[in-house]
Amino acid sequence: MANIEALTIGPGCEVSMYFRLSLPDGTVADETFEGQPLVFIMGDGTLIQGLELMLYGMKVGEKQCLSIDPRDAFGFPEEENIHNMPRSEFDAEMNIEPGMVVAFSTPAGHEVPGTIKSINDEMVAVDFNHPLTGFEVTFDVEILDIKVVKEGGAN
């Protein structure tokens, strides 16, 4: 009988996994354990670098939990991502408040979230940093499937 080594995650592998992203206080920011698994190709930019690095070498059926500091997760807040916008650019009926997350459209037609920082009669300060910027996050993952889709994608 041949001794076949189990496929491990490497560059170019298609990975199917469940994951949970949570904050230090236990708040769950995103998860797939109760729904459809996340399917992606290693290196395609789907995952933040810190999570992708923790997956290398894992096998089907393995589970892992890792805390990732802000530098390797969503980074640190950048002041240039806070924009002051005229209050008139918001619908007068819209009851905006500090902390509220609003979807904005880019000139290219993409939607990006912005967090309302402050409001006065004339201006609204909107923070376009990722909402998880500056936070340590915890990723729990369970690897469901691995496929080689690009040359050199498995160990």
For 41-57, write each residue's pLDDT tens digit: 999 989 888 888 889 99
Are residues 61 and 19 part of one domain?
yes
What Cα–Cα distance (Å) separates residue 154 from each residue in 6, 12, 43, 61? 10, 8, 13, 16
Domain with 70 in it: 13-74+133-148
pTM of the predicted structure, to 2 decimals: 0.73
How far apart, in whole angstroms, are the C-alpha atoms of residue 65 and residue 79?
Answer: 31
Give the total number of structural domains in the chain: 2
pLDDT tens digits, residue range 77-87?
999 999 999 99
Are residues 32 and 107 part of one domain?
no
Q: Is the pLDDT of residue 155 over 60?
A: no
Q: What does DSSP assign to residue 8?
A: B
Here the CATH number for the domain that contains residue 36 is 3.10.50.40
3 in helix, strand or coil? Answer: coil
What is the arithmetic mean of pLDDT over 126-134? 92
Residue 3 lies in a domain: no
Here the CATH number for the domain that contains residue 120 is 2.40.10.330
